[in-house]
Amino acid sequence: MTTTPASEPSAITPRLRVAPSPTGDPHVGTAYMALFNLAFVRKHGGRFVLRVEDTDRARFREDSEAQLFDTLDWLGLNWDEGPDVGGPYAPYRQSERLDTYAPYIDRLIESGHAYYCWCSSERLKELRAEQERSKSPVTGYDRLCHGKTREERAQLPGFSETPVVRMLIPDDVPLEFDDLIRGTLKAPRPDDQVIRKADGFPTYHMAVVVDDHEMGITHVVRGEEWISSTPKHLLLYRWLGLPEPKFAHMPLLRNANKSKISKRKNPEARLTWFRDEGYLPEALVNFLALLGYPPIIETDDDGERVEREMFSFEEFSDGFEWNKVNPVGPVFDLTKLDWLNGMYVRELPTHELAARLLPYLVAEGVLPERPDLGELGRLEAITALIQPRLTHLTKAGPQVAPFYAPDDAVPVADDARGQLKDDAPAVLDAAVTALEGISTEEGDIFGEGRGWTHENIEAALRAALVEGLGLKPKFAFGPLRTAISGQRVSPPLFESMEILGRHSTLTRLRALRATL
């Protein structure tokens, strides 16, 4: 059952959180949730909390937390409180808060809302198998331990020395609740959920309620897979006499076949993948917003309403409303992200794009770790040349590398050499002669007064090769492109020659000619 979404926000200053588990590379869904939490918080002057839920020690990975901090910071999704920055409700790691949960669990046991369970994992496995075989309408734990002492339970099969603690779900458990995105929801009836494991660590269900209360969280924003758990959490709030937060369940990110995007099957589910692939953080943030939120609507000069899909985080936050979130699981369309990324790349100032390319070029060995001023100056000129066609930062390397190759030993790709015709030697000889006539001094033969410029280079080569040799441009300039870049496809030829300079250009042409 779904009705109109509940109203928000309350008069209380909003405090929202994202609470990932450090069990591997951060999931892109963590950034997706953080984005929507942060947009609401920034609009209403609240506080955004990063809490690390590391109670799953079997899957815990030590480097995962550092990756989490690094990738969210790269995206600009900065938190006000967290393990690395502290805050009034520290500590912000669940593993450091174990003493916090014990009194709450004790209260539930004393009030009869929770009980010890000594069933072994083998017995529970057999119970599930039997329920599946018999197609029992009642599934979940059968309450064998409820109402028994340790000694009484020890007389029965499937006994474990170390008990867990389970909730005692009442028959009349409320299953409906209000959701800021979806309105009134009804979840299935839960079973007697474990709230403390045999190792003494609380389960997610217990820890999340206690931590959200202790940290003053006013709105719990999470994926729709947690809808079925919400009645359990609301029971815990009510049993413990704690104020209930508001809930907003976000749609899950999905593949084209509607399956949930997962790190095991989808490399793009890993948040680190996007930086490795050369996406801009602002493009990824914009893309994640569009997955669950409509474009910005504006009025054009003709008074028509138009959609704008490119917007900043600030614009997203300023107009944010929970009732605008689309509850339908969005398809994670990388083609759309590629388009957005290309748009953002082309809008960057050239010097800033060059600075963002630098780490990738250093990692690929195109540039040294500490390039000199001349190399950096050339990079900015090259960046301006390739920027109109660049879609990913990682795609710049092959285009930039030839500009830093030794002039007398430019690596020539097989397909570039293979497309050279029998007249390539004559074309290169004529090009060298024509370019030798261009002076680098002011006041050259073309009367431009600018010497070695792409305009003068193009004019000289067209006169010598197209008009002089009677060649079509495609065949006239192909050998020159091979000599300059070593590639069949390269940045604009004449501009490349201008950037390289007269000496380097002539050396490269002569070097290829010598091999033919």
pLDDT in the model for residue 3? 42
pLDDT in tens, 82-111: 999 999 999 999 889 989 999 999 999 999
Known binder of ligand: residue 197? no
**Which tokens is 255 given?**
């593949």
Helix (H) or strand (E) holding 242: none
Q: Which residues contact 157 (CB under 8 A, 6 or more apart)?
A: 123
pLDDT in the model for residue 387? 97
Rounded Cα gap, residues 503 and 513, in angstroms: 15
Local confidence band at 460 (pLDDT 50, 70, 90 cut-offs)? very high
Q: Which residues contact 52 (CB under 8 A, 6 or more apart)?
A: 19, 20, 21, 22, 65, 68, 82, 83, 92, 93, 94
Active-site hit among 125, 263, 324, 474 = 263
263 catalytic? Reply is yes
pLDDT in the model for residue 441? 65
Local confidence band at 11 (pLDDT 50, 70, 90 cut-offs)? low
Name the nearest CA neighbour of 146 among 137, 135, 136, 156: 156
Name the nearest CA neighbour of 402 among 511, 276, 476: 511
Q: Please, what is the average pLDDT of the chain?
A: 92
3-state secondary structure of 430: helix
Q: What is the pTM of this model?
A: 0.89
Name which of 197-206, 268-277, 434-443, 490-499 the model is least confident about.
434-443
pLDDT in tens, 63-85: 888 999 999 999 999 999 999 99
Q: Answer whether 499's CB lies under 8 Å from 403's CB.
A: yes
pLDDT in the model for residue 107? 97
3-state secondary structure of 487: coil
More confident site: 246 or 57: 246
Residue 201 has φ and ψ, to the nearest 5°, of -80, 140
Domains of the chain: 275-402 (1.10.1160.10), 405-514 (1.10.10.350)
Q: Which residues contact 347 (CB under 8 A, 6 or more apart)?
A: none
- Measured between alpha carbons, how far is residue 220 from residues 180, 181, 209, 375 in Å? 10, 12, 10, 50
pLDDT in the model for residue 21? 87
pLDDT in tens, 324-334: 999 998 888 99
Q: Residue holding tokens 């006013």?
A: 218
Q: pLDDT at residue 449 above 90? A: no
| Mean pLDDT of all residues in 402-420 | 94
Q: pLDDT at residue 444 above 50? A: no
* Segments in 364-423 forming alpha helices (H): 373-386, 397-400, 414-418
Q: pLDDT at residue 2 above 90? A: no
